[in-house]
Structure 1
Amino acid sequence: MDGQSELVTQAMGYLNQAWDLAAGWLLSPAAWSQFAILLVAYFLAVLVSRRLTRALVSLITPPADQTHLIAKGRRFILIFLPLIMPVLAYAFTGIGEQITRSLFGSGAVIAFGKRVFLFFAARILVQTILQDPFLKLLGRFVLVPVAGLYALGILDEVSTYLEELTLGLGNIRFSAMSLVRGAIAGSILIWLGNWSNRQSADYIGKQEMRPATRELAAKAVEIAIFGAAFLLLMNIIGVDLGTLAVLGGAIGVGLGFGLQKIASNFISGVILLLEGQATVGDYVELDGGEAGTIVKMTARAAILETFDGKWIAVPNEDFITTRVINYSDAGSAKRYEAPFSVSYDTDINLVPDLITKAVAKLPGILKDDHRPDCELRGFGDSGIDFALEFWVNGLDDGKNKYTSDVLFVIWNTLKDAGIEIPYPHRVVEIKGGFPQ
C-alpha cells in the first residue's frame, strides 16, 4: 500500500506540473503570441511550399526519355519535395522564435512547435519518401519514436536512463543504450553492406575480365564490405577490438582443428578463382566420375549440372588434389570419331573422299583448320573398318548430337553410292563332310 500511495503521489505531482505549465501558457501573452506565430508560420509554409513545389517540379523534372546519371539525380531530388512544407515551417518558426525571445524573453512554446514540425518531417519521410521495406520499417520503429520523444522534450531523459541501465553477460557489462545503438547501427550497416555489395557486383559484372577474375573480385569486395561493417559495429557498441582480436585468434585456432575440410575447400576455391582452371560455364570431368557444367561456385563447393538435369556438389578441394578434365578450357574445338564398315566388295579408294565431302556440309562441323578426315582402320571379320574424325565447337552431348548426325550422313551417303554396309557373318568349315 505504501508503494502504491508513493506512485500515486508521484503521478499527481507530474499532473500538477503539467497543469501549471498549461495554465501558465494559457494565461501568458507571450505564450499566445507564440501560438499565433506558429499558426502564421504553418499557413505561410503551406502557401509557399505549394508555389515552390510547382516551380521545382517544372524546373527539375527531366524528359521521360532521358536515363543518364544527371537525369537520375534530378528524379531523385524530386522524391524529397514533400519535405518542403515542414522544413519551411521550421524555418519560419525559427525566425518567429528570435522575435519572441527578443520581445518577451521566452520561447518555450515556439520551441515546442519547432520540434513538432520536425516530427511531421520525420513522418512524411517514412510514410511518403522511403520506399525500401527495410528503411521504412526502421523509420517507423526508430526514427518516428525518436522524433516524438524529441518533440515532447524528453529525449535526453530517456537517453540518460538507458545509459544508466546496465545489462551483464558474464564479466562483460553493457548499457541498454549501447545495445539499442548497436541494434540500430547494425541494421543500418547490414542494409548498407547488402546494397553496396549488390552495386559492386553489378559494376564488376559489366567489366571486361575473365569469369573467374570477376567472381574473385566480387567475393573480395563482399568480404571487405562486411568485414569493415563488423569492425565499425563493434566500435559503436563499445567492444574493445584488442580483446576481440584475442578472442578471434582463439576461435581461429579451434576452427582450424575442427573444420579443416571447410578451410581447405575455402582456400581451394580461392585458388580456383585466381588461376581460372575451372570457372562457371566450363564442362568438367573428375577422376571420381563426376561430370557436368559448372553452374555455380561457392566458398565450399562447385555445383555441376549434368546433361540429365542433376546437380552435383563437388568440394573445391577435389579440383586441386585430383585430375580434372576441362572440356571447355584452352579453346573450344574438340575432336570426335564416327566408326563404320563397308563390304569387301567395295572400292575402298572412293570411300574417304565421298564421306568427307558429305560430312563437311553438316552445320557445326569445322572445315578450315580442322577438316573431317576419313581413315582406314583395319580389315575386320565382316568388313573393312573406317573411322571419320571430325572437329566441332562444343560438346557432343546435351543439345548437340554431332556424332549421331554424322552417322546418319554416312549411312545415307553409302546407300546413295550403292556401297554395302556388311552384316556380321562367320564362315563355318565342316571337315570330313556331313554324317550319313
Structure 2
Amino acid sequence: MNFDLADQPEFVQQAADYALHGWEIAREWLMSPAAWSQFGLLVAAFVIAWLSTRKLRPWLERVLTPEAGRTSALATIRRFLLIFVPLLLPLLAFAFTGVGEGLTRAIFGSGAVIAFGKRFFLLLAARVLVREIIKDGFLKVLGRLILLPVMALYTLGLLDAATDRLNELTVSLGNIEFTAMAVIRGLIAGSILFWLGRWSNDQTGAYIHKQEEMRPATRQIAAKAAEFAIFGLAFMLLMNIVGIPLTSLAVMGGAIGVGLGFGLQKIASNYISGIILLLEGQATVGDYVELDNGQTGTIVKTTARAMILETYDGRWIVVPNEDFITTRIINYSDQGSANRYEADFSVSYKTDINLVPAIVEAAVAQHPGVLDLPYPPDCELRGFGDSGVDFAVEFWVNGIDDGPNKYTSDVLFLIWNALKDNGIEIPYPHRVVELHQASGPAAP
C-alpha cells in the first residue's frame, strides 16, 4: 500500500508510518507457521491460567481472610495480600506464557508473538490493578491517565519510540532547560512522592497523637517536625529525579527571602509565632481560651498560620498565631488545670446566718465535679441586701462552666435543696406602700 502523504503534516506522516509498520508485522504473523504456533501457546497459557484461577482463587480467599475482629500483625498482612487476589489470572497467564516462550524460541528461533502476548497480559494486570485494587481516588486517576496509557504503548512496542521523541523536545524556564520527558517524569514522580508524603504524614501524626504520655504541646511539635521532614525529603527527591541541582535554586530562594521580608511580613510573623507557641506550649488543642476582644472557644486545630477555635454554638474562629503572642489571651484550660467559680444566693433576715456556711459548704462538696484541692468549697458573707442577707459560695472544678458542663447550675440546685431541708427561707423582694390622706376642710 503506497500513499502520497508528502503534503500532510509531519505527525500524520509519522502516524501513517507506524500504521504501515504495524500492518507489515500483522501480515507477517498471519502468514507465519511459527506465529500461529505462538498464538496457540498464548491461548493455551490463558486457558490453563483461567482453569487454575478457578481452583486457586477460592482457596486463597479462604486462607487469606482472617477471623472477624482480629487486629494482629499477621491478620493485617493477610488482609493486605487478599487485596491482590484479582491479579491471579493475568499473572498466571504471564507466567505460563514465559514458560512457553523458551520452548518456542528453541524450536522456531523467534518469539515476537509470544513476547507481545506477555506484554498484553501485563496490560491486563495493570487494568485489574487500577479498576479493582486501587481504592484511593488520586491513585486511581493517576493509574487511568498515566499507567494504562504507558502500558498500552509498552504492549504495542511504541514506548521506546515515544520516550525518544519526548527526550528530544525541550522546555526552557529562564536559564534552566528541561526535556519534555523530564517534565512528565517530574509530574509523575511528584504526584507519587507527595501522595506518599501525605500518607506517611497521616500515619506518623496518628502514631504521635496516640502517645498519651507526651504533653499535648510536645505531640504537636513532633507532628509538625515530622511533617516538615517528610515533605522536605519528598521535595529533594523530586529535584533529584527531575535533574535540577539544588544550587540552581539559590537565586529563587533569595527572591523568596526578599518577598518574605517586604510583602509577606504578616505571614512570616504568623509562621514564627506558631513555632513559638508549639515550643512554649502556651496554647494547644483542647484549651478553652478567651480572646482580647471577648470571644471565647476551644482550640480544635492548630496550623502553621493560625489557631482554629470552636465556640459552644458551633462557630469556628480563625485566629492568627501572632495574636496569641502580641495580645492578651486568657487560657481557662491549660490542659486540665482547675478553675474557680462562685454562686450567689440570699437568705431571709430571720435566719441564723451563722449556720449557713456549714450547710452550704457540705451540700456543694457533694457534687462529684467539685474539688477539695486547691481549696474546698468556701461560703462567704457578701453583704446585707434590700430583701435578704447576701452570700456566695466559691468552688473549684476541672473544666469550663459552659457547653456540656453545668457546674454553677448544679451547685445552685444543691444550695436550694439544702436550704429548704434546713428550713431556711430564700427571700424575694418585698415592698411596703404607705398611703397618707391629705388633711383639709371637711366636706359640708
Higher alpha-carbon deviation: 302-311 or 312-321? 302-311
The equivalent of 1:119 in structure 2 is: 123
Residue 317 (str. 1) matches residue 311 (str. 2) = no
Higher alpha-carbon deviation: 406-415 or 121-130? 406-415
1:257-289 residue CA offsets vs partner (Å, 9 max, x unmatched): 322222222222222222222212212234443
Cα deviation for residue 381 of structure 1 reads 7.3
The equivalent of 2:358 in structure 1 is: 353
AA matched with 2:423: A
CA contact (8 A) 2:373 2:396 kept: no
1:204 and 1:54 mapped to 2: Cα distance? 39
Cα distance change on mapping 1:400 and 1:217 into 2, 3 Å: same
| Structure 2 counterpart of 1:338, from 340, 343, 363 | 343
Residue 68 (str. 1) matches residue 69 (str. 2) = no
1:45-75 residue CA offsets vs partner (Å, 9 max, x unmatched): 2233333334433443333342322112112
| Structure 1 counterpart of 2:375, from 370, 378, 387 | 370
1:320 and 1:221 mapped to 2: Cα distance? 24
Higher alpha-carbon deviation: 157-166 or 362-371? 362-371
Cα deviation for residue 78 of structure 1 reads 2.2
Cα deviation for residue 383 of structure 1 reads 5.7
Cα distance change on mapping 1:44 and 1:321 into 2, 3 Å: same
Residue 393 (str. 1) matches residue 398 (str. 2) = yes
1:311-331 residue CA offsets vs partner (Å, 9 max, x unmatched): 333322232233433222375
CA contact (8 A) 2:45 2:96 kept: yes
Matches within 5 A, 1:183-194: 183-194=187-198
| Structure 1 counterpart of 2:157, from 145, 153, 157 | 153
Cα distance change on mapping 1:174 and 1:421 into 2, 3 Å: same
Matches within 5 A, 1:22-421: 22-208=26-212, 209-329=214-334, 332-342=337-347, 346-367=351-372, 370-377=375-382, 384-407=389-412, 409-410=414-415, 413-414=418-419, 417-419=423-425, 421=427
| Structure 2 counterpart of 1:4, from 7, 12, 36 | 7
Higher alpha-carbon deviation: 380-389 or 224-233? 380-389
1:88 and 1:189 mapped to 2: Cα distance? 31
1:78 and 1:309 mapped to 2: Cα distance? 43
AA matched with 2:180: A
Cα deviation for residue 157 of structure 1 reads 0.5
CA contact (8 A) 2:386 2:429 kept: no
CA contact (8 A) 2:288 2:298 kept: yes
2:303 and 2:338 mapped to 1: Cα distance? 28
TM-score by length of 1: 0.86
Unaligned runs of 5+ in 1: 429-433
1:109 and 1:406 mapped to 2: Cα distance? 87
AA matched with 2:148: V
DSSP 3-state at the match of 1:4: coil
CA contact (8 A) 1:365 1:391 kept: yes
CA contact (8 A) 1:25 1:31 kept: yes
Unaligned runs of 5+ in 2: none
AA matched with 1:253: V
1:260 and 1:6 mapped to 2: Cα distance? 54
1:379 and 1:61 mapped to 2: Cα distance? 77
Higher alpha-carbon deviation: 145-154 or 77-86? 77-86
Cα distance change on mapping 1:163 and 1:363 into 2, 3 Å: same
DSSP 3-state at the match of 1:388: strand
Cα deviation for residue 192 of structure 1 reads 1.2
Name the % identity.
Answer: 64
AA matched with 2:301: K
DSSP 3-state at the match of 1:278: coil
Cα deviation for residue 195 of structure 1 reads 1.4
1:252 and 1:226 mapped to 2: Cα distance? 20
CA contact (8 A) 1:342 1:422 kept: no
CA contact (8 A) 1:46 1:85 kept: yes
CA contact (8 A) 2:221 2:278 kept: yes
DSSP 3-state at the match of 2:380: strand
Higher alpha-carbon deviation: 308-317 or 136-145? 308-317
AA matched with 2:54: R
Cα deviation for residue 411 of structure 1 reads 5.2
1:23 and 1:341 mapped to 2: Cα distance? 107
1:196-240 residue CA offsets vs partner (Å, 9 max, x unmatched): 122112212221222222222222222222222122222222222
Cα deviation for residue 177 of structure 1 reads 1.0
1:2-49 residue CA offsets vs partner (Å, 9 max, x unmatched): 842797887776665544433433333322322222222222222333
- Give the RMSD, CA atoms, in angstroms: 3.3
CA contact (8 A) 1:382 1:425 kept: no
1:322-380 residue CA offsets vs partner (Å, 9 max, x unmatched): 34332223753333333445555543333322333343344533357633222334566
Give the aligned length: 431
Cα deviation for residue 254 of structure 1 reads 1.8
CA contact (8 A) 2:287 2:335 kept: no
1:366-406 residue CA offsets vs partner (Å, 9 max, x unmatched): 35763322233456677655432223332334444433444
CA contact (8 A) 1:292 1:307 kept: yes
Cα distance change on mapping 1:235 and 1:435 into 2, 3 Å: farther
TM-score by length of 2: 0.84
The equivalent of 1:431 in structure 2 is: none
